[in-house]
Amino acid sequence: MEATTVPKVQKHYPVLLKEIISIITPQYGGTFIDCTFGQGGYTKKILEFENTKVIGIDRDVESRKRANQIKEKFEDRFIFKNIRFSQLNNLKLKHEEIRGIIFDLGYSYTQIKDAKKGLSFESIGNLNMQMGLNTYSAEDAVNKLDEKELEKIFKFFGEEKESKFIARNIIKERLKNKIDTQTLVKIIDRTKRKKNFKVHSATKVFQALRIFVNKEISELILGLINASKILKKGGVLGVVTFHSLDDKIVKYFFKSLSENKSISRYSPAIEQPEILFNLIKKKPILPSDKEISENQPSRSAKFRYVIKKTDFYNFNTDIKDQFSDLIKIENYGDKL
Ligand SMILES: C[S@@+](CC[C@H](N)C(=O)[O-])C[C@H]1O[C@@H](n2cnc3c(N)ncnc32)[C@H](O)[C@@H]1O
């Protein structure tokens, strides 16, 4: 579970940087896409190698400040786009051959520190949680969705066991008051019977709302599909996840496109789709004890990667069907 408290570390810390660089090998040059530019930790490291180019993407317009600093130093080797990574297919890549595409999911230290974003339950004021280029906030969700919808969001995106009672108490409270961050924290605290003293009682609900507001499930699925289309043969696609839902999606996507499905010998012979990826390691790469001791939030990070085997730019995947229940829940937001 990703904690939504402001971390104790005092600076931004790119997770698993050494490991990722050793896998994407920028020392051989080429063009890379950093789909979650943030504070530019990965981008800057890649650009330090000659003959590299980076296209940095972030939905948060605040990232542009850091992007401008990097641009000053690396000029024509770096481009920044303030878009969502689900829109990767809109990039005009001309004849650019993409050697590596990296996603580092979740939010940055700078975002969690920013009280206006309201990502942390320690923030005072509006329930916002928009990372950028959103259409509704967490405040819209808790004040407008119905009880069943809120329950499902907390249950499926936060694995919150007491989702039903929390949703019911939100509905009762909002008849009297608009729900802001502090009110929501109080409702959760009051409602939860089983307290875990190591994890704040609001952690799961806050994670769930952040996933919902930023449509993180659909973003990831579309991001992975579009990235796989634009990557060149031999290129690396890698993702750092911080919670089990994201990791499940990445694991399924990589595995399902790396091997043939086993078919019963009694079934009629069908043509197997071509395999898109080489999955080098089945298990994810985790941060070392040293990294975790220096940067506590890295403790839940998992890095998975694949290498594209073919020159296909179009392929079939059933990933949307596999996770259709979660996509349906995210779509409650369409009416907000
Ligand atoms: C964990 S931070 C990345 C930190 C970065 N690797 C670094 O070293 O500075 C995640 C970043 O991804 C961005 N982000 C999250 N979802 C996104 C999406 N769907 N499209 C584009 N950017 C996204 C967030 O705004 C945030 O800046």
Give the separation between CA 163 and CA 208, rounded to whole angstroms. Answer: 10
One DSSP character per residue, 195-263 reads: --TTS-TTHHHHHHHHHHHTTHHHHHHHHHHHHHHHEEEEEEEEEEE-SHHHHHHHHHHHHHTTSPPP-
3-state SS assignment for residue 176: coil
**Cβ contacts of 330 within 8 Å, gap of 6 or more:** 211, 212, 215, 217, 218
For 17-110+216-312, give the CATH class.
Answer: alpha beta
Domain map of the chain by residue range? 17-110+216-312, 115-215+330-335
> What are the two backbone dihedrals, phi and then psi, of residue 278, each rounded to the nearest 5 degrees?
-105, 120
Longest Cα separation, the chain: 63
- Residue-by-residue pLDDT tens, the chain, 336 positions: 554 555 555 677 899 999 999 999 999 999 999 999 999 999 999 999 999 999 999 999 999 999 999 999 999 999 999 999 999 999 988 888 999 999 999 898 889 888 889 898 887 768 999 999 999 999 999 999 999 999 999 999 999 999 999 999 999 999 999 999 999 999 999 999 877 777 889 999 999 999 999 999 999 999 999 999 999 999 999 999 999 999 999 999 999 999 866 555 666 665 666 799 999 999 999 999 999 999 999 999 999 999 999 987 888 999 999 999 999 999 999 999
From 328, 314, 305, 319, select the one nearest 25 (Cα to Cα).
Answer: 305
Question: Ligand 1 within 6 A of 297 CB?
Answer: no
CA of 34 to the centre of ligand 1 (A): 9
Give the separation between CA 228 and CA 249, rounded to whole angstroms. Answer: 14
Give the separation between CA 124 and CA 119, rounded to whole angstroms. Answer: 10
3-state SS assignment for residue 52: strand
pTM, 2 dp: 0.94
Q: Whose CA is nearest to atom 25 of ligand 1?
A: 60
**Has domain 115-215+330-335 been given CATH number 3.40.830.10?**
no
The residue whose CB lies within 8 Å of the most ligand 1 atoms, and thus the one to mutate among 108, 111, 249, is: 108
Question: Ligand 1 within 6 A of 238 CB?
Answer: no
The distance from CA 94 to its chain's CA centroid, rounded to whole angstroms, is 27
